[in-house]
Amino acid sequence: EKKHKVTIVGSGNWGSTISKIVAENTRAHPDVFEEQVQMWVYEEDVTVPRDSKHYDAVAGDKPQKLTTIINDKHENVKYLPGITLPSNIVANPSLVDAVRGSTILVFNLPHQFIAKVCDQIRGHIVPYARGISCIKGVNVSDAGVSLFSEWIGDGLDIYVGALSGANIANEIAAEKWSETTIAYDPPPMDSRAPSPREGSPNPSVTVTEAVPGLRHRDARGRTSKTKLTGVPAAYPPLDHECFRTLFYRPYFHVQMVSDVAGVSLGGALKNIVALAAGFVDGRGWGDNAKAAIMRIGLMEMVKFGKEFFGETVQSATFTETSAGVADLITSCSGGRNFRCARKAVEKGISVDEVERQDLNGQKLQGTTTAYEVNSFLKARGLEKDYPLFTAVNDILRGKKQVDDIPALVAAVDD
Ligand code: NAD
Ligand code: 13P
């Protein structure tokens, strides 16, 4: 019997937190997983902060490799300071080495870096690997909009699900209770995993070989070009139970669903709304205005999902799961996009400037997502149908003011 080897691709604020959760669980379930968890770290020279318990007066402010600090001190002093990571996490600066032989790949890095990462690992992973994307963003190209789960999956010829929820990393790293949503809906050949699709084959059938020519229907119900290779029967099934086991902690409750598009879009689009919430809060308009932004934003999120991912996306994913309304609320209360947008308005500087000044290398996803979604809508003449998304983009680009928001969103609502 073989065990699953797990690699976390990414080690930022959320990447390090998810690595902690996963490493606690690989240790707790040695029958299913190899204990050691590989964490790929984008290597950089880091100075240990003077207020850190790992600050060494002898070494002083001399920069050290981030991977060396993590492996020696079991703390990511730059992106998740003050949190002890399990010692079975190995920080690895080599992407290719970190993913080698892993059957489970967890993608957790800012969405602007994923294309380069996928280019580097293509051809270096086992063909029967499966992935989970924790990335909050959408991939926009001339061809249209796609989810990072399906885009990574297509690029690497593997199946990738999505994890998203009301999950501010620092709270979870401190083991404060929260919920998350994992969407995993592999195509029928991965038939040991429960598939909700009508006509899916008998879930008890074990497929160990690739089915030549089998095409995977993606989150939009379209036939994807990915040709999947079956997971060898020697491994524990890579199904809902397996992924729940990998991510569930007493402080991190997991709901497994099948709506990959809804879960991914909730996490991506709420970042645009959180910027708007920060804008109105920065103007001092109070809680009613912020609630109005959340209401209008949620409606645009559902509309976007239905319009462009209509075949499989479920409204209930937006209104009932942690990846939907709960993430919207937490992000509009204390997320980085919200906080940076609020400060930008208060100080009269750009959101990008606040990001550079305040986040110590952490990356906002809302600003790029607002631009990307806008270019997608604009190309289709649909900006007016999404007045809040459009207003956020126009404010970021200096074409509109925060004071214009009420009139801009009223135009469609009335
Ligand atoms: P982060 O904001 O901490 O980003 C910094 C990371 O980017 C670091 O690991 C850094 O090494 C890496 N990086 C910098 N330059 C790079 C490059 N050129 N190539 C590759 N990597 C580079 O990251 P995060 O918070 O872990 O976010 C990852 C994803 O998780 C995002 O999509 C985010 O929306 C999502 N998310 C974040 C939180 C949170 O609270 N932080 C919660 C839920 C989801
Ligand atoms: P920010 O990236 O805005 O901090 O949001 C974090 C998050 O996704 C909370 O669920």
The encoded tokens of residue 139 equal 């991939």
pLDDT at 217: 44
290 lines ligand 1 (CB under 6 A): no
pLDDT digits (tens, 9 = 90+) for 27-40: 999 999 999 999 99
**How far is the centre of ligand 2, averaged over its atoms, from the C-alpha of 208 (Å)?**
38
Is residue 199 over pLDDT 50? no
327 lines ligand 2 (CB under 6 A): yes
Residue nearest to atom 22 of ligand 1 (CA): 42
The distance between the two most distant Cα atoms of the chain, rounded to a whole number of Å, is 66
Which residues, in sequence order, are bridge partners of residue 252?
Answer: 178, 249
Q: Residue 278 belongs to what H/E stretch? A: helix 260-282
Query: Which phi and psi (to 5°) does residue 182 adopt?
Result: -115, 125
111 lines ligand 1 (CB under 6 A): yes
180 lines ligand 2 (CB under 6 A): no
Residue nearest to atom 43 of ligand 1 (CA): 167
- The C-alpha atoms of residue 330 and residue 141 are separated, in whole angstroms, by 29
pLDDT digits (tens, 9 = 90+) for 248-263: 999 999 999 999 999 9
For residues 218 and 134, the model is more confident at 134
Q: What is the mean pLDDT of the chain?
A: 90
**How far is the centre of ligand 2, averaged over its atoms, from the C-alpha of 135 (Å)?**
10
Structure ipTM: 0.99
The encoded tokens of residue 215 equal 């095409």
- The C-alpha atoms of residue 160 and residue 125 are separated, in whole angstroms, by 13
Catalytic residue among 270, 347, 363, 400: 270
pLDDT at 191: 45
In the chain, the percentage of residues whose pLDDT exceeds 70 is 90
Site to probe by mutation for ligand 1, drawn from 16, 19, 42, 43 as the one with most ligand atoms within 8 Å of Cβ, is 42
Instruction: Give the Å distances, CA to CA, from 344 to 110, 374, 400.
Output: 21, 21, 15
Angle at 213 between CA 209 and CA 219, to 5 degrees: 95
Closest residue by Cα to residue 105 from 164, 169, 38, 150: 38
pLDDT at 308: 94
Q: Which amino acid type is present at position 219?
A: A
Taking CB atoms within 8 Å and a gap of at least 24, the contacts of 294-300 are 294/328, 294/329, 294/332, 296/387, 296/388, 296/409, 296/413, 297/269, 297/270, 297/272, 297/273, 297/328, 297/388, 298/273, 298/324, 298/325, 298/328, 300/269, 300/273, 300/386, 300/387, 300/388, 300/389
Average pLDDT over residues 99-106: 98
**How far is the centre of ligand 1, averaged over its atoms, from the C-alpha of 116 (Å)?**
14
270 as an active site residue: the answer is yes
